[in-house]
Amino acid sequence: MFEPGARVLVVTAHPDDAEFHFGATVAALTDGGADVRYLVCSDGAQGEPGDGPLVEGVASVRMAEQRAAAAVLGVRTVRFLGLPDGSLEPTLALRREITAQMRRDRPVLVLTHYPRRVLDIPIEASHPDHIAVGEATLAAVYPDAGNARAFPELAEAGLKPHKVREVWVPGYERPNHFVDATPYVDRKGEALRQHRSQTGGEPPEWVFGWMRQAGRTPGYRFAEHYRRIEIG
């Protein structure tokens, strides 16, 4: 999909979001020679199944699971901001952190969450942390990452402005880009199995049902679909 060696930055709210939303696409990109890197914004500490109080150590478990899942997909670089799970907002501070990472990694493509609530799909897709990270990431793509006057301290520290070529967000509304996930569905499933604290060691069936549905328009058995945004 991109020239070998091209850098791709995946910005998510929680450990496991990259695999649930983009797992087959990430595998396709790394198999094609892309250098895919993850930035995970929250610590994932609210992800403990059940209704009890937060359990100490969940964040560390989820970070380890995220690294293992990323490795299955060919991703070698995973960074964590460690912000409190469930409390993310599209603040200037979050935009600054994401902008700094974009300027370090200098990606041609960014994958991130859909930046607003969608009411005609399951409510889980519109987790407030997802919306916050999607909006902050789009603001970091434009105008922040490419504007030397945005967060000038970053340029002073050697992080020069960078222009991202395009952004893909999940195709919840009017998808215009489809990735054939059929060759990568097993790798996506194996990556999701690494998130044992969340999946019990087996990916939920709805993941594959969603991919089958996404594949109907382009005629693929399985697909991941996106709203593709090209930056002018």
Report pLDDT for 232: 81
Q: Note whether residue 30 is domain-resident.
A: yes
Q: Which of 4-8, 73-77, 98-102, 165-169 is predicted with the least confidence, judged by mean pLDDT? A: 4-8
Q: Tell whether the model's pLDDT for residue 221 goes beyond 80.
A: yes
150: its two tokens = 């945005």
Q: Note whether residue 83 is domain-resident.
A: yes
Q: Tell whether the model's pLDDT for residue 56 goes beyond 90.
A: no
Q: What is the mean pLDDT of residues 202-219?
A: 97
Report pLDDT for 2: 77
Write down the mean pLDDT value for the chain.
Answer: 95
DSSP-derived pairing of the beta strands 77-83 and 177-180: unpaired
Domain that holds residue 185: 7-230
Q: Note whether residue 66 is domain-resident.
A: yes
pLDDT digits (tens, 9 = 90+) for 126-175: 999 999 999 999 999 999 999 999 999 999 999 999 999 999 999 999 99
Q: What is the mean pLDDT of residues 36-53?
A: 82
Q: Note whether residue 2 is domain-resident.
A: no
Question: In the chain, how many domains are there?
Answer: 1
**CATH number where 133 lies:** 3.40.50.10320
